[in-house]
Amino acid sequence: MIKRQAEAVLLDLAKGYPILAITGPRQAGKTTLAQSAFPDKRYVSLEDLDEREFADQDPRGFLARFPDGAILDEAQRCPNLFSYLQTRVDAEKRMGLFVLTGSQQFGLMSNITQTLAGRVGLIQLLPFSLQELQAANTPILSLDDVLWRGMYPPIYDRNLAPEKWFANYVMTYIERDVRQVVEVQNLSLFQRFIKMCAARVGQLINMSSLAIDCGVSHNTIRSWLSVLEAGYVVFLLQPHHQNFGKRLVKTPKLYFHDTGLAAFLLGIRDAEHLSIHSARGSLFENLVVSELLKQRYNQGLASNLYFWRNNTGDEVDVVIEQGEKLMPMEIKSGQTFNSDFLTGINKWMKIAGNAALTPQLVYGGSENMTRNGVEVRSWKQIS
């Protein structure tokens, strides 16, 4: 089993919170992480109809079965349970008693904030990170293979063909979750929508353009996009708010949490095809941004990632907030360093002045170096 970086943080949170919550996309390894970190706790899936009926009809009796706590999988399926959890942990005052997992932010997070505020230590678990694969000595054939295969655990744990697994994943999880949250009368239109999202990876999100291309209303696009965000399929990278005296764009950029899923939706069926595909650069940018986000989440921290673009088209792919300082990062998929890669960073550095930290460049090559004051890193060493 590939060890998750979030496990150490989860065990640390268990010392200070009576309830732990692990949320993230389906099949990201939430249950495996919970059972690995707490092997002595009983495991109950609330996807099981009998267990869910018991929890709904007699929540006090349901919880009484677990004097030493339990792992409650897909806890958002039983919203009535949360008030009884609050009563139980407030009375016993024992840390790390219950572990909740859930794959829908809408259900799990809304119940936590309404009923269990201040009692829950939260981990957002995404698919494997490059660091986790490297630490486990998992063979990584090439950059194109990583982009095409993605990092969902079943593809590595079960040695499954990515295209077959993603086809089932879209049908059995994403589409089902959509139906649970919003009414989708025409599933083919939603399928077109998610493919259109994949075609816009790394771009400013344009609701009107998506609505026209999918043949639905602007409000429908907004609703569907919120469902994909809640299910950890996509995320929006916000523009940095600091003006630096220039007019900035205010529209976020769209990314997928996993490049393998985006590649599948784009119709890319192998690494060789991806190597010549027009979306390769966008998928590489997506990989780097998602890896930076995983590193934050695996530490139990919120995102500190932004991008910067002004109204004249000058742009820095990622701006990382570190206290009152900002670290700019450019992302280029080329395997050979080119001084043109630094154009955007150099402009930003002049504008940012004393707020800037040492600039970074992540590229598709294998060598690390320093060029003109910029730390140039290989994609294999994103940190």
Write down the pLDDT at residue 188.
81
User: Band of the pLDDT at 104, cuts 50, 70, 90?
Assistant: low
Q: List the structure tokens of 81.
A: 């349970």
pLDDT, mean of residues 21-38: 95
Burial 295-325 (b: 16+ CB within 10 A, else e): bebbebeebebbbbbbeeebbbbbbbeeeee
Output the pTM of the full model. 0.93
- pLDDT at residue 223 is higher than 90: no
Write down the pLDDT at residue 134.
94
Write down the pLDDT at residue 66.
97
Write down the pLDDT at residue 31.
95
The mean pLDDT value of the chain amounts to 91
Write down the pLDDT at residue 231.
87
Q: What percent of the chain has pLDDT over 70?
A: 95
- pLDDT at residue 313 is higher than 90: no
pLDDT in tens, 253-309: 999 999 999 999 999 999 999 999 999 999 999 999 999 999 999 999 999 999 999
Write down the pLDDT at residue 304.
96
Write down the pLDDT at residue 1.
82
- Other CB atoms within a 10 A radius of the CB of residue 336 amount to 10
Question: What's the number of CA atoms in the CB half-sphere (13 Å) around residue 90?
Answer: 10
pLDDT in tens, 44-75: 999 999 999 999 999 999 999 999 999 999 99
User: Band of the pLDDT at 252, cuts 50, 70, 90?
Assistant: very high
pLDDT, mean of residues 108-116: 75
Three-state SS string across the chain, please? CCCCCHHHHHHHHCCCCCEEEEECCCCCCHHHHHHHHCCCCEEEECCCHHHHHHHHHCHHHHHHCCCCCEEEECHHHCCCHHHHHHHHHHHHCCCCCEEEEECCHHHHHHHHHHHCCCCEEEEECCCCCHHHHHHCCCCCCCHHHHHHHCCCHHHHHCCCCHHHHHHHHHHHHHHHHHHHHCCCCCHHHHHHHHHHHHCCCCCECCHHHHHHHHCCCHHHHHHHHHHHHHCCCEEEECECCCCCCCCECCCCEEEECCHHHHHHHCCCCCHHHHHCCCCHHHHHHHHHHHHHHHHHHHCCCCCCEEEEEECCCCEEEEEEEECCEEEEEEEECCCCCCHHHHHHHHHHHHHHHHHECCCEEEECCCCCEEECCEEEEEHHHCC
Among the residue ranges 29-38, 48-57, 96-105, 273-282, the one predicted with the least confidence is 96-105
- pLDDT at residue 175 is higher than 80: no
Domains of the chain, first to last: 6-124 (3.40.50.300)
Give me the long-range contacts of 61-64 (CB less than 8 A, separation at least 24). 63/88
User: Band of the pLDDT at 244, cuts 50, 70, 90?
Assistant: low
- pLDDT at residue 248 is higher than 80: no
pLDDT, mean of residues 313-319: 91
- pLDDT at residue 110 is higher than 90: no
